[in-house]
C-alpha cells in the first residue's frame, strides 16, 4: 500500500494513488570533450547536484566530436548522457561515445545528401543532426 501522502479517494470513496511529480531538465549545451573539466564549471556541477537532490533527472548530449569521450555537462555525475543514432539504429558518425554513455536515441532532424553518391537512394542520405536535439526524445 502506498504511503498516505500519495493516496487520495475519488467521490465514491475508492482509493486512488496519486503519482509523485516528475521533473526533467534538458541541458541544451555542451563543451568540447577534453577541453573543459568539472573544475572549470563549478556552478553548473553544483546546479546538477542540487537538481539530483530534488529527484530531478538531468539529460545532456554526449557530444558531437565523434570521439570516445563524453562532453560536459553529460559527463558530470547524475546526468543522463545521450548519444545519437542513424536511421538504421547505428551510432551516428558524429556522436561521442564511451563508458558514460547512458543511452542513444534516433536522430530527429535534417537528412543531408552525402557527397559520396549522386542517387536519391537511402544510402545517399545521412543524418547530421547534433546530439543536443536528441535529448528530448528519450525523456
Place 130 in a pLDDT band, splitting at 50, 70 and 90: low
pLDDT in tens, 18-57: 556 679 999 988 898 889 999 999 999 999 999 999 999 9
Backbone angles phi, psi at 83, to 5 degrees: -105, 180
Average pLDDT score over the chain? 76
What is the model's pLDDT at position 93?
A: 87
Q: Which of 86, 125, 89, 84 lies closest to 101 in space, CA to CA?
A: 84
pLDDT in tens, 50-71: 999 999 999 999 998 999 999 9
How many helical (H) and strand (E) elements, i.e. helices and strands, does the chain have? 1, 8
Single pTM value for the model: 0.66
* Cell numbers given for 19: 503519482
Architecture per CATH, domain 22-133, reads as 3-Layer(aba) Sandwich (3.40)
The Cα 112–Cα 32 span in angstroms is 23
For the chain, domain boundaries: 22-133
Amino acid at each position: 500500500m502506498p504511503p498516505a501522502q500519495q493516496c487520495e479517494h475519488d467521490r465514491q470513496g475508492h482509493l486512488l494513488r496519486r503519482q509523485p511529480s516528475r521533473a526533467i531538465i534538458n541541458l541544451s549545451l555542451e563543451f568540447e570533450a577534453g577541453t573543459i573539466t568539472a573544475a572549470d564549471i563549478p556552478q553548473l556541477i553544483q546546479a546538477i547536484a542540487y537538481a539530483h537532490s530534488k529527484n530531478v533527472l538531468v539529460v545532456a548530449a554526449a557530444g558531437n566530436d565523434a570521439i570516445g569521450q563524453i562532453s560536459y555537462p553529460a559527463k558530470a555525475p547524475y546526468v543522463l548522457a545521450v548519444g545519437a543514432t542513424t536511421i538504421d539504429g547505428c551510432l551516428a558518425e558524429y556522436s561521442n561515445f564511451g563508458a558514460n554513455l547512458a543511452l542513444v536515441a534516433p536522430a530527429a532532424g535534417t537528412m543531408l545528401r552525402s557527397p559520396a553518391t549522386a542517387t536519391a537512394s537511402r544510402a545517399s542520405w545521412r543524418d547530421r543532426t547534433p546530439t543536443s536535439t536528441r535529448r528530448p526524445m528519450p525523456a
